[in-house]
A and B are shown apart, each in its own frame.
Chain A
Amino acid sequence: DVKVTQSSRYLVKRTGEKVFLECVQDMDHENMFWYRQDPGLGLRLIYFSYDVKMKEKGDIPEGYSVSREKKERFSLILESASTNQTSMYLCASSGERNQPQHFGDGTRLSIL
């Protein structure tokens, strides 16, 4: 089975801090994604990557950056955390373009 592991289930940070969310997948998938999920808004794509060191902006990249130095690892960075970035963050990976995504269990991030 595909396993996508997110480093933290719950995280509390302060406004202005630099925050790192880590995601690791074990299926040698090319594609990796970061979403945030808020009540009533569904899944919104922040960034995705289709190869090592490659990244593409999603629908809401402002205030975020990403890093993919190794194929199995995709990191989301909040450069200067703000309260409106309090959310559930979900990482996913996929293989071929017509294959489903596999999700981690999410990180519930609170910015105080």
Chain B
Amino acid sequence: EDQVTQSPEALRLQEGESSSLNCSYTVSGLRGLFWYRQDPGKGPEFLFTLYSAGEEKEKERLKATLTKKESFLHITAPKPEDSATYLCAVQGSYIPTFGRGTSLIVHP
């Protein structure tokens, strides 16, 4: 059974204070690892796909990395508008498995 654990559950940062979110996973035959951002009251919005260990993707202040056991979402110099819940999912079997997310709050 595929499993995804995200940590921490909640993270509070000051504006400009860089940090990382963790996604640990076990999966039989990784076909892809996905990061999403979810704002309150809305559906998850796709951010990145990573397919193999060593791969990295960047978008503005976000950078996602992948090893054989975990993925990190690095947030550099965050702004209040980066506040959201970040979800990680792995695609091994036919159905993606989601973590429970990290709720990020960035204070001005």
Residues of A at the B interface (CB closer than 8 Å) are 4, 40-43, 45, 48, 50, 58, 90, 92, 97-106, 108
Contacts and interface: CB of A to CB of B under 8 A. Distances in A.
B28 to A, nearest CB: 13
A97 B31 contact: yes
Contact of A106 (B42, B49, B91, B96): B42
Contacts of A99: 32, 49
A33 B19 CA distance: 33
Main secondary structure of the interface of B (DSSP, over half): loop
Contacts of B44: 90, 101, 103
Nearest to B96: A101
Contacts of A43: 87, 98
Contacts of B41: 106, 108
A42 B94 contact: no
A103 B100 contact: no
Interface residues of B, number: 22
B54 interface: no
Nearest to A35: B98
B45 interface: yes
A89 to B, nearest CB: 10
A70 B101 CA distance: 33
Contact of B98 (A42, A50, A97, A106): A42
A58 B43 contact: no
B49 A48 contact: no
Given A97-B31, A98-B32, A98-B51, A106 B95 contact: no
